[in-house]
Amino acid sequence: MSDQTNKPATADLSRRTFLRRGMLGGGVAAGAALAAPAVLAQSPIVMKMQTSWPASDIWQEMAQHYANRVEAMSAGRLRVDLLPAGAVVGAFQVMDAVSDGVIDAMHSVPVYWYGKSKNASFFGTGPVFGGSATTMLGWFHQGGGAELYRELTQDILGLNVVGFMGFPMPAQPFGWFKTEVNTVADIQGFKYRTVGLAADLLQAMGMSVAQLPGGEIVPAMERGVIDAFEFNNPSSDLRFGAPDVAKNYYLSSYHQASESFEFVFNRDFFEDLEPDLQAILEHGVEAASTANTAFALDNYSSDLQRIRDEFGVTIHRTSQEILSAQLEAWDQLIADLENDPFAKRVMDSQREWVERVTYYELMNAPDYRLAYEHYFPGRLAL
């Protein structure tokens, strides 16, 4: 933990400090407080939590999964006031708002504060060494990622936050295009929406990149500000109206293959809670992660079928030529990023984890495609 001795003596009284002083203070105030302990015990702590998602997006529902579990596990002692993007601050401003205490918590992704430090992308949209999102969430919890994240946010950037990761996202589609794109030459000069280090990656491959919040993507496509885009998943893309502006949807890509949600709390707010409530906020992330995963598999798969069958969109797998070019572009980007000592430490840690863990995963996993094609022949896109 970073040193907190510089906090001003006039800092606002915490909720617990206020209640404790009210109950133990002298005279009538103390008597009144002691006369009504049940009323005090029933007063919930309200946590104002803003997301980076539009109110209509599936991720807002997934954030609500977390809020519901926190409230249930705390028996109502914690109540989550869950707000969509823009309710207090913009989608990309939630980290500053949490650190400054404007809001108590956020539900977002690290790449949305990439403007503070490119190192943010290593915790969601960094180089793909071969590990899946599940592999890299394991790195965060068991491979040293959590301590590196704490070092970046608290020590290097001086942010007054505590953060956790949950929900290993399926690899993100390459995205939506008006025409087929099968070669690297096909994407040259495209004005394309993505975020974080993926922006650097695809610029190196010849695209012109705009970094936009989810709610601004389709309007930008309609106005011709961008020619193509990705966001994250079939359900969000369908709700945004993506099938109305493009008819070629490319799944599978290395540009953002291992992202997770980020649950971040103002450090003063978090540390002022009773230990059991801190534990509920932390481990509630794990509970929501499991719920989010099942919910995503159900909705992403059914919405992908709707995109194909109801909206006439052609579903593709990204070509091997483009995937290979992405890895080559990552190689060049990694070489530049390693000039930053912290970035090099993060990538060294990730490579060590992936080399060991993914060896086990790949050696252990049967060929699921073989089994799928055995029972559902001809279903998969080439």
Average pLDDT score, the chain: 90
> pLDDT band at 195, cuts 50/70/90?
confident
* Residue 373 CB neighbour total at 10 angstroms: 13
Q: Determine the pLDDT at residue 229.
A: 93
How far apart are alpha carbons 324 and 254 in whole angstroms?
9
Query: Which one has a higher pLDDT value, 8 or 60?
Result: 60
Q: What is the pTM of this model?
A: 0.86
Among 57, 46, 45, smallest CA distance to 261 is for 57
Q: What confidence tens digit (pLDDT) does each residue in 314-333 have?
A: 999 999 999 999 999 999 99
Mean pLDDT of 30-44: 54
Q: What confidence tens digit (pLDDT) does each residue in 143-177 have?
A: 999 999 999 999 999 999 999 999 999 999 999 99
Residue holding tokens 């601004």? 216
Q: Look up residue 196 and give its amino acid.
A: G
For the chain, what are the domain ranges? Answer: 16-170+259-298
Q: Determine the pLDDT at residue 315.
A: 97
Q: Determine the pLDDT at residue 147.
A: 98
Superfamily the domain 16-170+259-298 falls into: Bacterial extracellular solute-binding protein, family 7 (3.40.190.170)
Q: What confidence tens digit (pLDDT) does each residue in 318-377 have?
A: 999 999 999 999 999 999 999 999 999 999 999 999 999 999 999 999 999 999 999 999
For the chain, first and last CA: distance in Å? 50
Q: Look up residue 151 and give its amino acid.
A: E
> pLDDT band at 2, cuts 50/70/90?
very low
Query: Which one has a higher pLDDT value, 35 or 213?
Result: 213
